Amino acid sequence: MIKVTFLPANITVESTEGSSLLEAARAAGVYVETPCGGKGTCQKCEVKIIAVDNEKKKTVLICQTKVPNHPITVELQKSADAKGQFENFEDPTKYLSEDKTQFLKKINLSVAPAALLDGLSDADRFTKAFLKAVDCQSVDIPLNVLVALPEKLRENNGEITAYYYLDNNIAFCVSIISYSSFGIAVDIGTTTVALWLVDLETRKVLASHNAYNSQVECGLDVISRINYAKKNLGELKNRILKTINELIASVCKDAQIESNKILCVSLAGNTTMTHLLLGINPEYIRLSPYTPVVFQPQIYSAAQIGISVCENAPVLIAPAVGSYVGGDITSGLLCTELANKPTELILFIDIGTNGEIVLGNNDFIFACACSAGPAFEGGGIKHGVRAQTGAIERVAINEGKLEVYTIGGAPAIGICGSGIISAIAELFKNGIIDSAGKFSDGNGEYILCKGSQGKPDITISETDIENFVRAKGAIFSACQTMLDSVGMSFNDVGKVYVAGGFGRFLDLDDARVVGLLPRVANDKYLFLGNSSVIGAYLTLVSEEHRNKEQDLARKITYMDLSNEPKYMYHYTGALFLPHTDKELFE
C-alpha cells in the first residue's frame, strides 16, 4: 500500500499502486472540484504532486492521475467557500395567507384509563380516542411510538399530544412526545443546497444554511451526474444525504434544538436530483422517450430516505412535470401570480445550469427546459468559479479604466456568473469585443486582474465568451419559442419573474446588453432569489400552498424543445451580442 498525504488538511491515506488518485482523495474526505465528472475535460482539478524523496512539484489533473509506486504528497487548491452571495434569504412570510392549516397536524387526546378485564390494550384505547377526535379511516402507529405509548399514557393520566398527518384517509402518527415542533425546507440544487429550519407553531424561519452539493465532485450538470450514476448511484445518494444532514446539524446548533424534534420535511429539487436522493436510477431521464421513474414520489419517512431527523417525519417532495422540469420549478411557481390564477401573461425564468422557462396565465401553463450549461455558475470558463468569497462579481470600464469588484472585497480568485455577464457587457459597450464576441485587437483575451505571487492572470477569453453566449442564447431562445407556441411576443408579457440564486444578483441592464433578457419595462421584472426553497417552506407550513403546488403540477403542459423546429432558428439568432434582432433589446 502507498501512503498519499493531502495538503493543506495534512490527511494521509493508504492506496494501492495504479489506483485513481481522485478516489484516494475522496477516501481521505478532502474536496476536489471535478465539474466534468472526472473525464479530464474541464481542467478544474489541477493539483501539485510532491514525491517524498523529491521536493520538485509537478502539476497534474487529479482525475487523470494514478497512484505511483512510492509515497507522495498532494497539494490541493483552497476549498471553495460556500458563503458569499448565497448567505441571505428572501423573507417568505409575505407569500402566506391567513390559513394556518399544515400538513403535519397536532391533536390533544384524552385516552380512557385501563380497566380490569376490559379487553383493550393501550394501543386499542389510544386508537379509539384518536378516531373519535380525528375524521379518518384508521391510524398507523409506528413501532417506536408504540414502545413509548404505555409510559406516556400513564405519566399524564391519559392526556397525550399526538403529531400526525393524513394520507389517503389514514392517519400516520409521527410522535407522541409533547414539545415544540419544527420542520425543515430544503432546496436540492444541482450546485447548491439551501436548508431552512422552521418553527411549525409560529411559521418563523429560525436558522438557514447553504452548502455546495457534494455531488459536484462527480459532475457539474445533471447529464454528468446521470452518467456517473451508472456505476456509482449509491455514492451520489450518500453524497446528497451527507450534505443535507450536515446542514441539519448546523441549523440545529444555531437554534439549539435536537434534530429529533424536526417532525416534517419539505424538499424541492429537479427531477434528476430527486431520483438521486431516493437512490433511483436516473438513466432513463436522458434516453428517448425521456421517461423518469416517478414524477410525484409518495410520502416516505425520513428514516426510509436517510434524513437525520425524527425517524417518522414525513418527507414531502415537490412534484415534477417533465424530465427536466422538476419540483424546484413547481415549488418556485408558488412565489408567482401563477399560483393565484392570473389574467395577465406570466413569464417565469429560472436561470442556471439547466434553464427552466414557464409561461402561462389563468387559461394555460406551458413549461420547458433548455441545457444552458454551467457558464452561469463559472463552469466552462477558464478562470470561472462559483459565487464565493473573492469571486469577481462586477466589472466596470470607465473612460478606459478597469474596475473589478469581488464578493466580500477579497483578493480575486476567479470570476463567477454575475461577473461574467458584467465583464462581457462592459467589453461590448466599450467596443473591445464585437457582436460575435471577438476581440477587436486580435489578442483573444482580456486581463481582468493581474496575477501575483506566481498565480496566473485572471482573464476572459473568446472561448469563455463563446461558452457564455451559447448559454444565454439557450435561455433567450427558449423564451421566444414558448411565446411563439401561443402566438404571443414579449410585448404581451405582464410580469417576468427571474428565479435562482444567480438571478438575485443579476444586473438587469447588463443582462439586456448581452441578450439574456428582453428589453421590457423595468417594473415588469421581479427577482425572486431562491424561489425553490421558499416554495418548500410554503408547502411545509401551509396545506393551502401544498394543494396549490399539486394543482399547478397537474395544469402544466411540458414542452420538449427538441421537437420544436423554431427553437433552433431562434437559438441561431441568439448566438450574437445581444442578438441578430437588435430591436428585441432596444
User: Does the CA dihedral 477-384-387-329 come out positive or negative?
Assistant: positive
In the structure grid, which three cell numbers stand for residue 457, read together?
492572470
pLDDT of 278 above 90 = yes
Same domain, 436 and 491: no
Tell whether 100 is covered by a domain: no
Tell whether 429 is covered by a domain: yes
Summarised one tens digit per residue, pLDDT across range 513-570 is: 999 998 889 999 999 989 999 999 999 999 999 999 999 999 999 999 988 989 999 9
Helix axes 417-429, 462-485, angle to 10 degrees: 100
Same domain, 8 and 67: yes
Instruction: For the chain, count helices (H), then strands (E).
Output: 13, 26
Same domain, 370 and 400: no
Q: Is 536 exposed, middle or buried (0-12, 13-18, 19+ CB in 10 A)?
A: buried
Its domain, for residue 408, covers 383-458
In the structure grid, which three cell numbers stand for residue 230, read together?
451508472
Residue with cell 441539519: 248
What percentage of the chain has pLDDT greater than the value 90?
69
| Mean pLDDT along residues 258-264 | 97
Number of domains in the chain: 5
Same domain, 118 and 42: no
Same domain, 306 and 245: yes
Residues 6+ positions from 264 with CB-CB distance below 8 Å: 102, 103, 104, 165, 174, 181, 183, 184, 200, 313, 314, 316, 540
pLDDT of 86 above 60 = no
Q: How many CB atoms lie within 10 A of CB 143?
A: 9
Which residue, 140, 175, 210, sits at the end of a domain? 175
Summarised one tens digit per residue, pLDDT across range 151-180 is: 999 998 999 999 999 999 999 999 998 778
CATH code, domain with 217: 3.30.420.480
CATH code, domain with 138: 3.10.20.880
Same domain, 417 and 512: no
- Helix%, strand%, coil% for the chain, nearest 5: 35, 25, 40
Same domain, 424 and 478: no
Tell whether 92 is covered by a domain: no
The DSSP letter of residue 77 is P
Summarised one tens digit per residue, pLDDT across range 335-372 is: 999 999 899 999 999 988 788 999 999 999 999 999 88
pTM of the model: 0.86
Same domain, 427 and 482: no
pLDDT band at residue 396, thresholds of 50, 70 and 90?
very high
Phi-psi region of 515 (alpha: psi -120 to 50; beta: other; left: phi over 0): left
Distances (CA, A) of 37 to 115, 219, 220, 272, 283: 65, 4, 7, 16, 16
Closest CA to 364 of 575, 109, 557, 558: 557
